[in-house]
Structure 1
Amino acid sequence: MNGKLLFLGKADIKSLDIHVEEIIKAIEKGFIDISDGNTELPHKPSIHPRPDCFLRALPGYLKGIDLAGIKWVSAYPTNRQKGLPIVSGLILLNDPQTGLPLSLMEGNWITAWRTAAVSAVAAKHLAVKESATLAICGAGVQGKTHLAALSTVLPHLQRVKIFDPDPAALELFLQQEATAYPDLDLQGVPSAQDAFCKAQVVVTAAPMMSKPLAIIREKNLEPGMLLLPVDLDSYFAASAFKACRTFFSDDTDQLLWLKNQGRFAHVEKIAGDYSQLLSGQIKGRQDNNDCIMAISVGIAMGDLVTAGLIYNRARDRNVGVWLDL
């Protein structure tokens, strides 16, 4: 609508019943579009108003679905002690024809689910096919969305081991998720090392601090393990990186930029990114004994394809509030 902006809050977005399988499918197509050169995804400028905190812009244009927009997102690990979300953000969609804004929507729901969906895409193509044990380090929002997303792409999944340094958060996670996954054996464990033991797929989702925890070492890794850090290099010591056979990423250029900034200092042998993997330009897992790390640095494509799903369904169902510009 000319002169109108559709505002969508979290309750509006949740009411649309968009399932993680839809997001995974849309993101897989988005990676193919990247491979075909049908996207414009600049690097992400950031500001850092407080130590270990940031605000970041993720702009992008997706030619395949003719969608432009930007996410403005913050991450403040100190918010947990204040009872506030660690991550918060907004997404603005624009009409590529006119540049006019189309929709402003709450960004936390999208960030949570698109991140997990990207990890699911990586697991679908890189995990050992018979993977039966998933480990999740971090019983927060990302832990919950990753459980949902990964359980859809790991058909042999039987058990999930969860660690969180906050016992109350871990207990709440187990209480809430056990009823949602009656066919899975959900186990709370006392340490990250216990979570890694005998797991085939591992998600790490700690707060992203300037000084990484670096508590996981080579001895904690299992043959054939797929590592899915969504918290930069927070958990892994140098020996763990060196033990990985190869590395993949959602965006190799941004991973290399982060490496130049001092993160992922020990990452070598980068095979390529998910767009190359899905388009067949590079090979995935070569050996079921190889330990592989698939690093998600976060790109606007996932935010925008998810926001596009939301915007289209909201218009179809007359959900949200139209605001005058």
Structure 2
Amino acid sequence: MKTLLLTEKDVKQLLTMDEVMEAVESAFKAKGLGHAQMPAKVYLFYKKYKGDLRAMPSYLEELDISAVKIVNVHPENRAKYGLPTVMAIIILVDPKNGAPMAIMGGTWATGMRTGAAGGIAAKYLAKKDSRVVGLVGAGAQARTQLMALLSLYKKLEEVRVWSLPDGTKEAFVAEMEPKYGDVAKIIAVESVKDAVEGADIVVTITPSRKPLVSNDWVEAGMHFNCIGADAPGKQELDPAILTRAKI
């Protein structure tokens, strides 16, 4: 038996956002129809390091594909160690015998999958004529969230990005403007309020443990993709927003 090994570079060269969007939508459908096993992720909390590790198994029964992803979240990694906040590895397993078919870098795939999930949510829940996007956070996930939205909305008027005053929003604009400046004006803003007010789609992608987005800034018809609050103790939205929200 041979096990295929794929580096992060290999994965990044192979994946396109359109392909990932299609795969994620198909997986969501399988889950909704009861054709997928995806138990709740298992956490290890490294409290003294302010990080955690997660194990995420899955099995798509109709496609007969199974995998396990192991992924961390350590918000202080970049400042302390020069490492990404999120890193992952994926093991593809043969369901008929449990043999490892492939071991691959999962960091880029994680970013693309999560970006695609936001894109699929916007596809079905956001306004079809959405023109303004507000990004609360400017890390790696902001990039793939924008990629997914631009695969849906071929032309946006404006993308506003806010982050803490550490240079990340300026770096985001400097990187994204040459790539997507012809389809959207991409600007850094000074406050969360500036990013949110008047936006059609708001994406929150931070490790915050207290609300960043005030209910007072939210207008009827806004769509929210809340990516950062993915573990106990995390919070990005004023709870009053959730009492108003509809799906």
Alignment TM class, shorter chain as reference: over 0.9
| Mapping for residues 83-94 of structure 1, pairs under 5 Å | 83-94=82-93
Secondary structure at the aligned position of 2:53 is classed as strand
Secondary structure at the aligned position of 1:74 is classed as strand
**Shift in alpha-carbon separation, 1:166–1:217, aligned structure 2, 3 A:** same
Q: Which residue of the partner structure matches residue 188 of structure 1? A: 188
Q: Which residue of the partner structure matches residue 33 of structure 2? A: 36
Q: In the TM superposition, what whole-angstrom CA distance separates every residue of 1:200-252 from its partner, at most 9, and x where no partner exists? A: 00000002x5xx221322101122100101011532122222232x24xxxxx
Q: Which residue of the partner structure matches residue 57 of structure 2? A: 59
Is the CA contact (8 Å cut-off) linking 1:133 and 1:158 kept in structure 2? yes
Q: Distance in 2 between matches of 1:166 and 1:45?
A: 33
What is the aligned counterpart of 2:69 among 58, 62, 71? 71
1:242 aligns with 2:246: no
Secondary structure at the aligned position of 2:116 is classed as helix
Deviates more, 1:118-127 or 1:231-240: 231-240
Number of equivalenced pairs: 240
Q: Which amino acid aligns with 1:175?
A: A
What is the aligned counterpart of 1:221 among 200, 218, 221? 218
Q: Which residue of the partner structure matches residue 150 of structure 2? A: 151
1:124 aligns with 2:161: no
Q: In the TM superposition, what whole-angstrom CA distance separates every residue of 1:74-108 from its partner, at most 9, and x where no partner exists? A: 10111121221111111101111111111111111
Offset, 1:128: 0.9
Offset, 1:156: 4.8
TM-score, structure 2 normalization: 0.93
Q: Distance in 2 between matches of 1:84 and 1:128?
A: 37
Q: Which residue of the partner structure matches residue 204 of structure 2? A: 204
- Pick 1 or 2: higher relative contact order, CA cutoff 8 A, min separation 6: 1
Offset, 1:40: 0.8
TM-score, structure 1 normalization: 0.71
Offset, 1:167: 4.2
Q: Distance in 1 between matches of 2:117 and 2:243?
A: 24
Unpaired segments ≥5 residues, structure 1: 248-325
Offset, 1:35: 2.3
Q: In the TM superposition, what whole-angstrom CA distance separates every residue of 1:95-152 from its partner, at most 9, and x where no partner exists? A: 1111111111111101100000001000000001111000111111011111111111
Identity of aligned residues (%): 32
Q: Which residue of the partner structure matches residue 177 of structure 1? A: 176
Q: Which residue of the partner structure matches residue 15 of structure 1? A: 13
Unpaired segments ≥5 residues, structure 2: none
Is the CA contact (8 Å cut-off) linking 1:218 and 1:243 kept in structure 2? no
Q: Distance in 2 between matches of 1:48 and 1:114?
A: 23
CA RMSD after TM alignment: 1.4
Q: Distance in 2 between matches of 1:231 and 1:240?
A: 16
Offset, 1:155: 4.2
**Shift in alpha-carbon separation, 1:138–1:215, aligned structure 2, 3 A:** closer
Q: Distance in 2 between matches of 1:166 and 1:62?
A: 42
Is the CA contact (8 Å cut-off) linking 1:89 and 1:106 kept in structure 2? yes
Q: Distance in 2 between matches of 1:176 and 1:19?
A: 18
